[in-house]
Amino acid sequence: MDATVRTRMEPRAKRLVLSAFVGVLLPASFASVPACSGVFVSSQPDAGEDSAATDASVTQSDTSIEGLSGCARYGSPTFCVDFESPGALSTTWTSSDAVGSSRGTIVLSGANVVSPRNAAFFDLTKPSGDCTYLQLERGFPGNYRGFSFRADYRAETEGFFTSFVVEPRAKLFYNFLFRVAPLKVSVSIQRYEELPDAAERYAFVAGTDIPLVVDSRGRYVAVEVELLPGSANATLVVDGVRAPFTLPSDLTVTNPKLAVGPYCSPGTQRVTVDDVVLRLTP
């Protein structure tokens, strides 16, 4: 896998930024995936109203409980937000790109929901340059043997709408990037390394996609990625369809950081997200 080296472009460390497009030695589905650099958010937040307790016994993909809605459907995950409580956009997260920003808004909306009464509507109206974020972020310091993440997306525009970063060792990061397109959902993993000369090396190294039979625009798509403890493979699940993919051998779930919402967008983005669930297996 070819890698690209570039000098750091912005003073805000630990935040991924967008650069040129890459298509060298990548699967066809990644030919239009932009290369990125940097990594974000490292502090541990206080638990918010929508945050659930850690369940150390969970080592499997999320399965919902019939007859219940929102976070009640998912037992006791490490983290769950169904956007029903007043603190769903504030105390639940480490930080928000919408705070003090004119780039767009993140609001609770009852117009299109998976679980009543609200979902989070991300409206990126004023992108700045070719890489603008409008995300809710949270970090989970520690070492974990596996994870599963799931969320429901109703995308009005194509784009990356979630990133999940892990840090196997100092200055080495892997970023799971989730992309929703009209007829395809993909996950791509980027390897990012800070070099001694303050430059950066990054490359896309793994991932897969799942075609959609029905256009994603105007409807919710359920997306999940799971990594079981001891496994060298992860699995992308979209509306119940599964696609496994092989992970880099040195990828570990260390100090994960979750960011939900438009990621490094070159233009306007509109997406509604509901029922965000993360399980971390100690």
> 53-110: per-residue pLDDT in tens?
333 223 333 444 556 789 999 999 999 999 998 889 988 899 999 887 789 999 999 9
At position 69, the amino acid (one-letter code) is S
pLDDT at 245 over 50: yes
Average pLDDT, the chain: 81
Q: What is the dihedral of CA 178, 179, 182, 184, to 10 degrees?
A: -70
Name 163's Cβ contacts closer than 8 Å, sequence gap at least 6. 16, 135, 175, 176, 177, 178, 258, 259, 263
- pLDDT score, position 86: 80
Tokens for 256, please give them: 């994960």
Q: Answer for the pair 176, 187: CB distance below 8 angstroms, yes or no.
A: yes
- pLDDT score, position 48: 36
